[in-house]
Amino acid sequence: MTDKNKLAAQLEAVLFASGDPMSTVKLCEALNVPKNDLSEAVECLDERYSQPESGIELLRLDGAYQLAAKKEYAEGVKNALEIKKSANLSPAAMEVLTIAAYNQPVTKAFVEHVRGVDSSSVVNSLVEKDLLCETGRLNLPGRPVAYKTTDNFLRAFGLSSLDDLPELPERREQMTLDDVMNNEAAEEEK
């Protein structure tokens, strides 16, 4: 076994045993290798898992790596582990996730200000689903809790990092309330 293949096997074992995403820095420390050697081992695993007979894939999650079952085998994995199918996210939950993803870290007050409605229960529900997590307290009066998206959020939406989020439209491309009112007034005049 070549050194490259041996390092790839060690990386595979560490990622398998961890179960959770591991950062490049932690992996380099654990395996006692420089970043470029780790990159070669990652390439080796990518090649191995790209084969059709492999049921595993290597996920890249915002500077971290994790082993996961390929999507085409998800149903069998769910059945084997008796994982309950999670409910679809409500429009309110999607709004909160969008606000958090593009503005993180955010507070509940910020989310409520943007949405215009109480969002505490939605934020708490997203924390329970491990799509948002507490990231500390802000140095503001009352020391509010700040929230950010999780690696599970990235996985759920098929993103490698937050950089993969679609760009927000330019302000001039968005309709304003005045535009809507003017359009309605023009329609009434017809």
Q: What is the mean pLDDT of residues 160-189?
A: 71
- Please indicate whether residue 68 or residue 74 has the higher confidence score (pLDDT): 68
Per 3-state DSSP, the chain is made up of helix, strand and coil in percentages (nearest 5) of: 55, 15, 30
Quick one: pLDDT at residue 33?
93
Contact between residue 107 and residue 120 where contact means Cβ atoms under 8 Å apart: no
Domains of the chain: 3-81 (1.10.10.10), 91-166 (1.10.10.10)
Per-residue pLDDT tens digits for 144-163: 999 999 988 988 888 888 98
Share of the chain above pLDDT 70, in %: 85
Model confidence pTM above 0.85: no
pLDDT tens readout for residues 37-57: 999 999 999 999 999 899 999
Structure tokens given for 86: 């999670």
